Amino acid sequence: MIQDAHASTIQKLMPSYTPSPINTDNVELPPEITALSERLAESIHDVWALERIAQGWKHGPKRDDALKEHPCLVPYDALSESEKVFDRKTASASLKSVLALGYEIKRKPAVIEPGEQRDLTAWQQALEAEAGKANKDGARGWTFDMDDGPEIASLPPGGMNVAREVLRELQDRVFPVWQAEDATALQKQARHARIAAFAIWPGILAVVCAILQLSFHHFGQAWRGVAEMFLMLEFALVMAAVAAVLIGLLSNVHHGWLAHRQRAERLRGLKFRALSWPELWCDFERWKTRLAHEVGELRAVTTKAAHHWAQDSDTVHPELPEVPACVVPEADLKALSALYRVKRLEFQHHYFGRQSVNADRSSWVVNTKLGLVLFFLSVVFVLMHAGHHYLHEAPAGGAAQGHGLPLFDVVTISLAALLPVIGFGFRAWLAAFEAPRSRNLYRAKALALEDYMKRSEEAAGDVGQALAHIAQGEHFFINEHREWCRLQMEAEWFV
């Protein structure tokens, strides 16, 4: 009764109260401030929690004022989305009010000390020297972009600790899994090449033997032994070709190497994409958890899932990361930006150029127009046969012993049949790996990277630009690999 009377008295004495917050209807938070808003919401929750704990409250299944228990006395991440709404609204309203009053919210620029700059410059020079060795003489030529052991060792003691911890985690978590997948992919790819060779060339040679066996059969009784030899050889070659095809189908060799290659390349992309995650700077434990989770998902990708992934439509725009709502050490940011530029962009550019040259060498059949030349020669032999037939309808002594076909006709017809078969063999081998199209793809990707590399250093000094630059780069690479997977799936030996 006394409390009710007291509340009634206060209500009579107080004037009517109408809340009138600052008008923020026309204020929109820019992207970098939106990230700050979430961080501020978390801080608001922590301030409330500290005050409650100081008053003797503890966590409980439901709110109990008598026992001082509250279900929201948990870390911000453990709250449900509905429970985060109040903190988010408070944070957003506070930030909008500051902007509505005419103030600006700017990130305090990080300061890099002269000693840190010297260490950073020395480390970048060592990194570029290692890249030069990898590109020139093949030292670390295959693992340079994934193996960070030497780069970790060359970091200055006591400096760039964020970069050191990041590289150590990537080295321990991603590199071993990538190494295993890459080695398996290379092993199965070589096996696929051998099986394709044993399927294509014995098959082509079997056709050649069949034509030669028929030709020698027309040379008379003296050549019957040679004809029988080509018949037996034809049978053996056909059996070898059939066995190679069956082994390839039963062992799923093409599907197998392509799935392992995809897992290896997506792990490579994960390593560098992880450098753009804001958690790296604001919550390293969460970053490690996310990295471990994504590595586990990629290890579990099946061959069927790999094929579905390759056939998915490319996304036009990458998902850009939020600007970290915490202090980002400039030396560490520039170190990781340099790592991305040298180990990812420049090294991949060199790889595309090298693969383009290799694919061009493998495309010599197309470059020399060998198929067209052999076809033209076969037509020439057909014309020679036809001309000889009409000019010499009854050649004296021109027929092979015991047969009606002249020797000249046998030779010209045999060559006219053999040359296209040989040309088809070369085309089939080329189609098994899509070398000409791979060459063009590698050339286009190398050219596309050149402009991107020029803009890489410009973005290194700004947090938002640097992280967005990495995210955009990995978007480019992941779509490039998806396109390459589809190209391989379109190869004639992919079934």
Instruction: Give the tens place of pLDDT for each residue, 119-133.
Output: 889 999 999 999 888
Q: Residue 271 above 60 pLDDT?
A: yes
Chain-wide mean pLDDT for the chain?
A: 80
Residue 395 has a pLDDT of 47
Residue 26 has a pLDDT of 84
Better-predicted residue by pLDDT, 492 or 279: 279
Mean pLDDT value of segment 151-169: 91
**Burial letters for 428-456: b for 16+ Cβ neighbours within 10 Å, e otherwise?**
bbbbbbbbbbbbebbbebbeebeeebeeb
Mean pLDDT value of segment 370-398: 70
Pick from 8-12, 53-57, 189-193, 445-449 the range whose average pLDDT is largest.
Answer: 53-57
Contact (CB, 8 A) for 450 and 415: no
Q: What is the DSSP letter of 345?
A: I
Integer Cα distance of 265 and 146 in angstroms: 11
Residue type, 395: P
Q: Residue 253 above 60 pLDDT?
A: no
Q: What are phi and psi of 215, to 5 degrees?
A: -65, -50
* pLDDT range class, residue 110, cuts 50, 70, 90: low
Q: Residue 164 above 90 pLDDT?
A: yes
Residue 435 has a pLDDT of 61
Residue 318 CA neighbour count, 13 Å, CB half = 18
Least confident span in 80-89, 180-189, 351-360, 483-492: 483-492
* pLDDT range class, residue 162, cuts 50, 70, 90: very high
Better-predicted residue by pLDDT, 220 or 305: 305
Q: Residue 429 above 70 pLDDT?
A: no
Mean pLDDT value of segment 27-41: 77
Q: What are phi and psi of 306, to 5 degrees?
A: -65, -40
Plot region of 326 (φ>0 → left; ψ -120 to 50 → alpha; else → beta): beta
Least confident span in 106-110, 271-275, 352-356: 106-110
**Burial letters for 358-379: b for 16+ Cβ neighbours within 10 Å, e otherwise?**
ebbebbebbeeebbeebeebbe
Least confident span in 77-81, 158-162, 297-301, 320-324: 320-324
At residue 64, the 3 state secondary structure works out as strand
* pLDDT range class, residue 440, cuts 50, 70, 90: confident
Residue 56 has a pLDDT of 92
Mean pLDDT value of segment 172-183: 95
* pLDDT range class, residue 495, cuts 50, 70, 90: very low
Better-predicted residue by pLDDT, 479 or 399: 479
DSSP conformation letters of 221-247? GGGHHHHHHHHHHHHHHHHHHHHHHHH
Domains in the chain and their CATH numbers? 24-100 (1.10.490.160), 175-489 (no CATH)
